Amino acid sequence: MNARFRAALGHEFADPGLLRQALTHPSAPGRGDGAFQRLEFLGDRVLGLVVAEMLLERFPEVDEGGVGLRMSVLVSEETLIEVARETGLDAALMRDPKARDRRMAEKPAADACEAVIAALYLDGGLDAARQFVRRHWRALVERHAEVERDARSRLQEWSHARALGQPVYTVRARRGPAHRPEFEVEAALSSGERAKGSGGSKRAAAAAAAAALLEKLE
């Protein structure tokens, strides 16, 4: 196991076999009983729980739909691949050495990331799994906050620099069921420029509208 991944784990396993099982993908030669998938199944649930905790803490003003949209990105295969790469997990994974296709090489790393979270949970309890997820997902959660803040603040700076005052955001439509709404918001400047954006919350839709308007202006 590489030193980078060992440090990223932040946990000494009482049962090293659990970690070995989590890092042995079903494609690996001599993989045994294939229980990797059972760990992956459990890890998916543990990851969802901890990410949900993080989102509710970080975005107390965002409704269920907005939290759900963020959640779907943060537990996606693409995000798991990113975490696997940054922690060195992808290099520690035992898998089919013949997998040369990029897609065939990356998906096992995403699966193993969930399996490792389950191994941490089984060996050290929820706290061990939670510490791993919080450590490696914190920047990803913040990325969502920065995207929203950045678009609206840049539009405001652009508007003030031209003495156009404060941008005005207006909700133009609300669609979808109550548990997963979608809002359409229009961002407008006093000079007449305007653009629309959609999102699972008014805030997210306003950020999308600001980004769309900036694209038109710049």
| CATH classification of the domain holding 164 | 3.30.160.20
Q: Containing domain of residue 115, as a range?
A: 3-143
- Which one, of 215, 147, 145, 146, lies nearest residue 187 by Cα? 215
Are 161 and 94 members of one domain?
A: no
97, 123, 143 — which closes off a domain? 143
Are 105 and 168 members of one domain?
A: no
pLDDT digits (tens, 9 = 90+) for 189-217: 999 999 998 887 787 788 889 988 988 88
More confident of the two residues 58 and 134: 134
Are 28 and 47 members of one domain?
A: yes
**pLDDT confidence band for 142 (50 / 70 / 90):** confident
Are 119 and 181 members of one domain?
A: no
Catalytic hit among 114, 148, 184, 186: 114
Clarify whether 90 is annotated catalytic. no
> How much is the pLDDT for 149?
65
> How much is the pLDDT for 111?
92
110, 143, 176 — which closes off a domain? 143
Clarify whether 15 is annotated catalytic. no
CA max distance for the chain: 69
Between CA 174 and CA 188 the distance in angstroms is: 18
Q: Count the domains in the chain.
A: 2
**pLDDT confidence band for 27 (50 / 70 / 90):** confident
Are 107 and 160 members of one domain?
A: no
Are 185 and 139 members of one domain?
A: no
- pTM > 0.85: no
95, 119, 143 — which closes off a domain? 143
Are 23 and 107 members of one domain?
A: yes
Flag the least confident range among 9-18, 148-157, 163-172.
148-157
